[in-house]
Structure 1
Amino acid sequence: MSVAAIAEGRSAGRITAPLVAVSDTIAAVLLAADLVVVCVSVLARFLFNAPVEWSDDVARGLMVGSSFFGAASALARSENLGVAFFVDMLPPGVRRTVDAVGALLVAIISFYVAFNALKMGWLTTGQTSGSGLPLEWTFYPMGVGAAFMTIFALETFGGRPLRDMIAGIVAAAVIAGLYLVWDALAPASVPSSQTLMLVGFFLTLFGGLPIGFALALAALIFIWVEGTLPGVIFAQQMARGIDNFVLLAIPFFILVGYLMEANGMSVRLIELLQRAVGKMRGGLNVVMVLSMVLFSGISGSKMADVAAVGSVLIPAARRSRQNPGGAVALLAASAVMAETIPPCINLIILGFVANLSIGGLFVAGMLPAALMALALVAVSIIFGKRPAASGEAEPRAAVSGLWTGAIASFGLIFMIFFGFKSGFATATEISAFAAVYAIAVGSLLFRELGVKNLAHCFVQSATRSGLVLFIVAAAQSLAFILTLQQVPHEVGDFMLSISGSHGVWLFMLLSIVVLVVMGSVLEGAAALIIFGPLLLPVAVKLGIDPLHFGVVLVISMGLGLFAPPLGLGLYGACLIGNVPIEQTIKPILGYLGLLLLCLLVIAFVPVISTALPHAMGY
């Protein structure tokens, strides 16, 4: 989400507030229905040997609908991810005009998605999926969700001062008019559609347009300029980007993260770690690293992990008179370390787009994460201080049932890893049962998860997963355009030629640099979706193990995501810890430097990533 949105938590306007409630409800209900469908399907297959043939199609359709309604709710609350670093440096008047143009573009893109998704639903009426379900059931919910997005975007634009709205409309019209005049008077000198697409993407991205919309606009610029592709292809590709059963693991693991926070499991785990190692030298920092290890191994949602750990330990760092900027920097570095701890969402996304074994990626990421965790723990102990004797760093309130909570949490970890190894269920099915397990623990064992809290968890999860999956959908539409232009082939040939003359090591270093840079500019999922399929085939041709290379890509992306000054993840950690980003720059650079050294070791010592997968048959 944008930094301002996390800080402000703005609610929707008076006009659309009822619509936001409707959007929240629909997104949450569709997510809950998805959970029921997946669980019932697995139980029917396992207990009665009677697979539910339509379950996959229904689950995917429900996910597409939930994602777009969730994305609409996120848009209404201004929670979309965007790069604000550059626009913050603009003069106030220019900044207002740029913001107005961005708000107008969001409304235009949302309307284009809604119109073409509904049109696609009408065109597919009467057609059915492999299991016999109507195809329009996928596109109509998507179109209605995008229509909600359009309404929310228009209200955001209309809520600006009239002068700013006029300035935004005029600026957008001038840009479009200049292109049309240029194309009419000197068509031979007009830049290619590829160039316009690239320029439009970076201008809007650095202008603060939310990342998902910047990706979608890049694809639309090509479609509009070329004029050969119908708009329904754009909507079809967006739906195709998330219409996959594997990606259902994303909203379910995000749900697990929110449930852990609501059912008391998070607090119990952190408290137990504080009592176990909190009194040692640098103990609070060690607790922070270990907490991120445990939470990333359960919830899969990075920002949910950061919020759960940071909301408890950053106040504890303040009470112990520790530098809060250093604590937030370590929190961000721990999130980078945890990028390859299963069931990380980015591993799931990479496995999906690059056609890699998700279970294999999960196993391959464990030793690299352990290496980085040990490095962070060692630094925390060496440079850390013992907590104050007064015990001010202790939590303010005791938490009962610590060992019960720990056992329940480790039971969830065991369920996830046993499910993958045994082959009992897929990543999506395991994530669904993990969510059910978290609900049962919170409501029956801890008795802290009431109906209201449960409903709130589903709404939050649907909104957060809608944000992520909308970016995935937009990135898929751009990836489709890049494929049409044979960009993957050209990139592959270029990288192969460089590696052929200089060695595989140069390809590995270039891949790391590309993902670090693009990870800082784009949200992690978008960087992996675009560059994963481009680079992985080249790596395979050069003899690099794909699981090993996938782990290197994900860690590189994580370094960029939390690197100043652009890293969106770092801004999120600072806002959760209520610390200005300036206070974190110096310590985070030290931590990221350490993690970069670990990454280079992982990249050039492949056995760290491949030993466990090979031993376990992946």
Structure 2
Amino acid sequence: MKSTTLEKFTENGHDAPLRAVHPGLRHADRLLGLLASVPAAFLLLAEIVLLFSSVVMRYLFHAPLVWGDELAGILFLWLSMTGAAAALHRSAHMRMTAVVSRSGARWSTFWDTVSLLASLLFLSLVMVPTWHHVNQQFDLQTPALEISDVWRVAGILYGMVCMFLMCIVRMLALGWKQATLGIALVAAIVTALTFSGPVLAPLGNTNLTIFFVGVVGFTVLSGMPIAFSFGLATFSYLSLCTSVPMEIVVGRMDEGMSQLLLLAVPMFVFLGLLIEMTGMARTMIGFLASLVGHRRGGLSYVLVGAMYLVSGISGSKAADMAAVAPVLFPEMTKRGEKKGELVALLSATGAQTETVPPSIVLLTIGSVTGVSISALFTGGLLPGLVLAFTLCSVVWWRARKTSPSAGRAPRAQVMKALVVALPAMALPLVIRVAVTEGIATATEVSTVGIVYSVVVGCLLYRQFDWKRVGPMLVESATLSGAILLIIGTATAMAWSLTQSGFSHTLAQFMAGLPGKSIGFMAMSIVLFIVLGSVLEGIPAIVLFGPLMFPIARELGIPDVQYAMVVILSMGLGLFSPPFGVGYYGACAVSKINPNEGIRPIAGYMLALLIGIVIVASIPWISTGFLETR
């Protein structure tokens, strides 16, 4: 079975060896964890305060903080790298463990060691180029604050050093013999690679297959974090097969992680956790249940609608499922729904709502392709509804012969539930209006939602637990760091593929498909379903989005429509067993055995595929609201 996307340390996790070794190693590991997670939490809190202050100063006092974005950018790179280090300490980096988990306990330990060695190898290769990149920024000054840019890029070095030391500590925890052997093996591989350049150079573009298929495939299947896998393949290829200075690659990583638009990722992750903690999600679900819960399959319709509404607030699929499943599943089980059916529908709704703003995937695809975030937010609403309709069709078909398991709620009860839910249901509208009216940018608007949620949670719902804020900040920074490091290494890999001429070859192949735009769209659906299941969504989009969108434009396909098709196809792969990691995330959240959902999910996945074909065939579904603005 594949692990969930947010793979935490468990008793059998990667920190298990630390409990049986010298206390000094345990203390060192704990200290390194604090050196990553504590700054990450404070940095995220500082970003929230800074961005909301910028909104207030600009909109209310007409005195914008001219240095605000610059300071936010400096803190953001530090947040990304400390979050990535915290993710490594918590084993929360995105990994594919489908093969490793089926190899048995003994082989699983072996593959964990291989993954640790490969991660250590990547960090060893990147350390010196990172130092050179930092040194190159000494003479550059920021325009507003007029300080050296080294204050910003030093965050990359800090994060890399923390992760390198974490890997060393974990290597030592395996035992001195294994640690010595492992470190010697890494040194031997580095030496061998150094002298293999003359052998690889004459192979030309065959090296692309060796490194970007062979190395990436092996390391990903061995359970290595995907971000490190991309980085290892990129550094190995460029250092051995080209004359490109490695600090340029670190520069591409810096460029990928430093786009201020991506600051919305940790903000919306934190907002998702916040609405769950304040009970806002529970009130919306309660209203929907009172409205249609009496119908055949009524709570299944509620599940589809609730995921749509919550996605419009949190932007994080993990947060969406964690907010909805614990509220609905106990009552659905009481009404006779099978557990497999529940987890199957939850997974399907995860894929269905990938285009509902403010989805993290929308923010990512906008940042790497240059498509307007505002246009993506507008264009993503109707495709999600189309897929919701196809899912509800399956729910209706499966429930048509069952009897209603609950009576109709009295009108007074429905109205009371509506009144209670209105402040929570207004949050998506608040976020939308803040962007469209120019009150806040796509990066800042999440802080408006955060402040709104804090006020509503404290004053109206009275369910605000201040003790949970710290852990929520750490969790948000951890998930975001894992995502942003993938974006950084995938940006470097995409740049490498472009420099090699691969992108030109791909463009020629895709443009020459039969049927022109129809053939290209069909191939894109298949490609991103496969990539979504193997690489997960964000890595696939960051790696192939910049290559595919220019081809789509040449064939006359609107950017927003193509973005919707790509995102939904990726979501279908991400939430489809046996490889889709999102499916196992849904199983973990709902505490249901993955085997129970395999059969019922097939119908939902087929319904989603039909919905994707409809969105791909009718551009108006994605662009109609844009044309009327």
Runs of 5+ unmatched residues, structure 1: 392-397
Q: Deviations over 1:79-113 (max 9, x none)?
A: 12111112234365544333212111212323444
C-alpha displacement of 1:179? 5.8
Distance (whole Å) between structure 2 residues aligned to residue 359 and residue 496 of structure 1: 29
Q: 2:174 aligns with which of 160, 167, 171?
A: 160
3-state SS in 2 of match to 1:130: coil
Kept in 2, the 8 Å contact 1:2–1:81? The answer is no
Q: Which amino acid aligns with 2:455?
A: A
Choose 132-141 or 521-530, whichever is displaced more: 132-141
Map of 1:394 onto structure 2: none
| Aligned positions of 1:34-113 closer than 5 A | 34-90=47-103, 93-113=106-126
Map of 2:294 onto structure 1: 279
| Aligned positions of 1:256-267 closer than 5 A | 256-267=271-282
Kept in 1, the 8 Å contact 2:200–2:240? The answer is no
Matched residues, number: 609
Distance (whole Å) between structure 2 residues aligned to residue 133 and residue 403 of structure 1: 52
Kept in 1, the 8 Å contact 2:200–2:241? The answer is no
| Aligned positions of 1:422-433 closer than 5 A | 422-433=437-448
Distance (whole Å) between structure 1 residues aligned to residue 209 and residue 321 of structure 2: 38
| Aligned positions of 1:151-190 closer than 5 A | 151-160=165-174, 188=202
Q: Which amino acid aligns with 1:439?
A: V
Choose 210-219 or 329-338, whichever is displaced more: 210-219
Task: Report whether the alignment pairs 1:143 with 2:144.
Answer: no
Kept in 2, the 8 Å contact 1:193–1:225? The answer is no
C-alpha displacement of 1:332? 0.6
The alpha-carbon distance between structure 1 residues 421 and 531, as it changes in their structure 2 partners (threshold 3 A), is: same
Kept in 2, the 8 Å contact 1:349–1:525? The answer is yes
Task: Report whether the alignment pairs 1:541 with 2:542.
Answer: no
Distance (whole Å) between structure 1 residues aligned to residue 447 and residue 325 of structure 2: 26
Map of 1:253 onto structure 2: 268
Q: Deviations over 1:380-404 (max 9, x none)?
A: 233124464699xxxxxx9x98545
The alpha-carbon distance between structure 1 residues 408 and 146, as it changes in their structure 2 partners (threshold 3 A), is: farther
3-state SS in 1 of match to 2:443: helix
Q: 2:425 aligns with which of 394, 405, 410?
A: 410
Distance (whole Å) between structure 2 residues aligned to residue 314 and residue 615 of structure 1: 40
Map of 1:201 onto structure 2: 216
Task: Report whether the alignment pairs 1:322 with 2:323.
Answer: no
The alpha-carbon distance between structure 1 residues 604 and 273, as it changes in their structure 2 partners (threshold 3 A), is: same
Distance (whole Å) between structure 2 residues aligned to residue 202 and residue 373 of structure 1: 34
The alpha-carbon distance between structure 1 residues 455 and 87, as it changes in their structure 2 partners (threshold 3 A), is: closer
Distance (whole Å) between structure 1 residues aligned to residue 80 and residue 421 of structure 2: 32
Q: 1:381 aligns with which of 396, 413, 422?
A: 396
C-alpha displacement of 1:340? 0.7
C-alpha displacement of 1:206? 1.5
C-alpha displacement of 1:58? 1.1
Distance (whole Å) between structure 2 residues aligned to residue 548 and residue 141 of structure 1: 37
3-state SS in 1 of match to 2:314: coil
3-state SS in 2 of match to 1:229: coil
Q: Which TM-score applies when normalising by structure 2? A: 0.90
3-state SS in 2 of match to 1:305: helix
The alpha-carbon distance between structure 1 residues 309 and 95, as it changes in their structure 2 partners (threshold 3 A), is: same
C-alpha displacement of 1:122? 2.9
Distance (whole Å) between structure 1 residues aligned to residue 300 and residue 566 of structure 2: 27
Runs of 5+ unmatched residues, structure 2: 19-25
Q: Deviations over 1:423-478 (max 9, x none)?
A: 33221111121112112222233232233222222122111111111111111111
C-alpha displacement of 1:201? 0.8
Q: Which amino acid aligns with 1:142?
A: I
Q: 2:326 aligns with which of 303, 306, 311?
A: 311
Map of 2:138 onto structure 1: 125
Map of 1:237 onto structure 2: 252
Q: Deviations over 1:309-356 (max 9, x none)?
A: 123223333333421121011001001110111111111111111111
* Root mean square deviation of aligned Cα: 2.8
Map of 1:526 onto structure 2: 539
Kept in 1, the 8 Å contact 2:494–2:544? The answer is no
Q: Which TM-score applies when normalising by structure 1? A: 0.92
Distance (whole Å) between structure 2 residues aligned to residue 334 and residue 449 of structure 1: 28
Distance (whole Å) between structure 2 residues aligned to residue 8 and residue 76 of structure 1: 9
Distance (whole Å) between structure 2 residues aligned to residue 461 and residue 181 of structure 1: 42
The alpha-carbon distance between structure 1 residues 113 and 534, as it changes in their structure 2 partners (threshold 3 A), is: same
Q: Which amino acid aligns with 2:71?
A: V
C-alpha displacement of 1:566? 1.1
Map of 1:464 onto structure 2: 479
Q: Which amino acid aligns with 1:68?
A: M
Map of 1:28 onto structure 2: 41
Q: 2:587 aligns with which of 574, 577, 599?
A: 574
Map of 2:602 onto structure 1: 589
Map of 1:598 onto structure 2: 611
Among all aligned residue pairs of Structure 1 and Structure 2, give the percentage whose two residues are the same amino acid.
33
The alpha-carbon distance between structure 1 residues 488 and 379, as it changes in their structure 2 partners (threshold 3 A), is: same
The alpha-carbon distance between structure 1 residues 571 and 556, as it changes in their structure 2 partners (threshold 3 A), is: same
Q: Deviations over 1:252-283 (max 9, x none)?
A: 11111010111111222222222222222112
The alpha-carbon distance between structure 1 residues 127 and 213, as it changes in their structure 2 partners (threshold 3 A), is: same
Distance (whole Å) between structure 2 residues aligned to residue 93 and residue 167 of structure 1: 18
Choose 596-605 or 378-387, whichever is displaced more: 378-387
C-alpha displacement of 1:360? 0.6
The alpha-carbon distance between structure 1 residues 427 and 188, as it changes in their structure 2 partners (threshold 3 A), is: closer
Kept in 2, the 8 Å contact 1:116–1:143? The answer is no
The alpha-carbon distance between structure 1 residues 17 and 359, as it changes in their structure 2 partners (threshold 3 A), is: same
Q: Deviations over 1:28-72 (max 9, x none)?
A: 111111111111222222223322222111111211111111121
Q: Deviations over 1:457-511 (max 9, x none)?
A: 2122111111111111111111121121132222112211225xx3321111001
3-state SS in 2 of match to 1:584: helix
Distance (whole Å) between structure 1 residues aligned to residue 201 and residue 505 of structure 2: 26
Kept in 1, the 8 Å contact 2:197–2:241? The answer is no
Choose 592-601 or 160-169, whichever is displaced more: 160-169
